[in-house]
Amino acid sequence: MSMIEIKNLHKYFGELEVLRGIDLTVDESEVVCLIGSSGSGKSTLLRCINFLEEKNEGEIYIDGELVTSKDINAIRQKVGMVFQRFNLFPHMTVIQNVMEGPVTVKKMDKKKARGLAMDLLEKVNLLDKADEYPAMLSGGQQQRVAIARSLAMEPKVILFDEPTSALDPELVGEVLGVMNDLAKEGRTMIIVTHEMGFAKEVADRVIFISEGQIAEEGPPEEIFDHPKNERLQSFLGQILV
Amino acid sequence: MDAIINLANNSIEFFKTVVEFAPKFIPGVILTLELAFFSIILGMVIGLVVAVLKLTKYKWLKKIMDVYITVVRGTPLLLQLYFIFYGLPSMGIMIDSFPSAVIALALHNGAYISEIFRGSIESIDYGQREAARSLGMTKWQAMKRVVLPQAFKRSVPALGNQFIIAVKDSSLASVITITETMLLARQFGAATFNVFPIYFTAGVYYLIITMGLTKLLSKVEQKLKVNER
């Protein structure tokens, strides 16, 4: 069953057409990696899915429902988002960050939310940091908290916007490890990434975006080992030296 | 020798007058504190409301708030006090002197405080709002739970400044017959012609209030700073 269906998506920033007719279907439990050079529109595509950017044209269906800008709050509860710069709430402790969504949005009882948050922190291996403030954590730890925070809303899809790009190299592994676990659990994930090794290992499908369009897509072996599109070939040539 | 004796005598006279008049200032000092307290509290409420309204998508609301801020910041507080206390009655609106002073001072502080709040709200990284919205929060929830608590913390130093200005500005209420510290000083001075020690005493009272306020605010600041970048 398709979890996300995008039809003919167009997005303009002023005169500039950033997305030029994207059609994309993501199935339940599928892990899709979006790759492409910067400025290609991959992050914009991700941000359009949960309406952080408003699309100009096209239709987006999530879990079978057509999404309009009127019910974005409801949709966003179904679509989790993990940001490049973590965006944890600095005035809340780690556990408060994770509880915030369920308590404020879902009006979940605080005790119950705390239990849920504890479970999630255990899952990302940060139970011992529950009462610390984000500023005391390393980038990798902060990003794992951000993942736990988005999981707390029990989203049907999680969007990752370059989740390891702001991390020191030695911290990338711990975050990818958590994401790998999520993929194995059968979570539906769309990941914008520059970590080709990770994409190769975890993705069910890799999509190469170039100049606002899907230039090539397929299973990772095909994309990385037998790229057909010329721009994909040169893109891979540049990064897989 | 004579000069020294003279100076000593004068000093003794000076401090005698200070000690004599210091307790007589107490009712005025209490009024000063009340004026400052109410105008700060109300000013904070006005400031917060105006700052948030300025950030809504309704252009006309933003316009109204801009007019308010421009008028208040662009005219003297003295004129605003006269306008409310002496001006409005000619339009049939009579307000007692104390509420008049509180209204004028609160509106005045509110305009400045709203700019302080707006600045700190806008200084909060946009990613914070996006993270909150992506959890499914409404705009208002994101504002209340995520943006305002952080913005408030950032406002504290500038707010402290404004509070001190508010205390000193309350002295202008003396022109609309409120017998706060400044008016008392003028009355005592006129009655005794012993102006120097009396204004000195009034000045000490203002210093005590503003220094106390500074101390209180730096405590608040310290408390808020714990655990954060």
Please calculate the CA angle B105-B108-B114 and round it to the nearest 5 degrees. Answer: 130
Tell me what pLDDT residue B227 has.
Answer: 57
Separation between Cα atoms, residue B219 and residue A4, nearest integer Å: 52
What is the predicted pLDDT for the residue at B228?
59
Contact between chains at A150 and B135 (C-beta distance less than 8 A) = yes
pLDDT tens sequence for chain B (229 residues) = 788 888 888 889 899 999 999 999 999 999 999 999 999 999 999 999 999 999 888 999 999 999 999 999 999 999 999 999 999 989 888 899 999 999 999 999 999 999 999 999 999 999 999 999 999 999 999 999 999 999 999 999 999 999 999 999 999 999 999 999 999 999 999 999 989 999 999 999 999 999 999 999 999 888 887 655 5
Give the per-residue pLDDT at A239. Answer: 80
Find which of A89, A137, A162 to mutate to test the B interface (most B CBs within 10 Å of its CB).
Answer: A89
**Residues B227, A89: C-beta atoms closer than 8 Å:** no
**Would an 8 Å CB–CB cutoff place A69 in contact with chain B?**
no
pLDDT for position A146: 97
Tens of pLDDT, residue by residue, chain A (241 residues): 789 999 999 999 998 999 999 999 999 999 999 999 888 999 999 999 988 998 999 999 998 888 887 888 888 888 999 999 999 999 999 999 999 999 999 999 999 999 999 999 999 999 999 999 999 999 999 999 999 999 999 999 999 999 999 999 899 999 999 999 999 999 999 999 988 999 998 999 999 999 999 999 999 999 999 999 999 999 998 886 5
Nearest CA in chain B to A155: B135
Residues in chain B closer than 8 A to A149 (CB atoms) = 135
Which member of B127, B145, B227 has the closest CB to residue A87? B127
Write the ipTM.
Answer: 0.91
Query: Which among A83, A91, A101 has the least Cβ separation from residue B136?
Result: A101
The maximal CA–CA distance of chain A, rounded, in angstroms, is 55
Query: Concatenated DSSP letters for B16-73?
Result: HHHHHHTGGGHHHHHHHHHHHHHHHHHHHHHHHHHHHHHTSS-HHHHHHHHHHHHHHH
Q: Test B136 with A76 for CB contact under 8 angstroms.
A: yes
Contact check, Cβ <8 Å, B137/A87: no
Q: In chain B, what residues touch A153 (CB-CB under 8 Å)?
A: 135-136
Partner-chain contact B131 A88, CB within 8 Å: yes
A residues 172-231 lying closer than 8 A (beta carbon) to B: none
Tokens of B16: 């005698």
pTM for the predicted model, two decimal places: 0.86
The β-bridge partners of A33 are A191, A206
Tell me if A73 and B136 make a contact (CB, 8 A cut-off).
yes
pLDDT at A59: 93
What's the pLDDT score for residue B226? 64
Closest residue in B to A70 (Cα) is B138
Q: Which of A85, A91, A105 sits opposite B135 (nearest CB)?
A: A105
- Cβ–Cβ below 8 Å for A74 and B136: yes
Instruction: Tell me phi and psi for residue A86, to 5 degrees.
Output: 65, -55
Q: Do B128 and A87 touch (CB under 8 A)?
A: yes
* Location of structure tokens 């230039």: A215
Nearest 5°: CA angle at A219, between A216 and A224?
70
Q: Token pair 């050079």 is at which residue?
A: A37
N-to-C CA span, chain A: 38
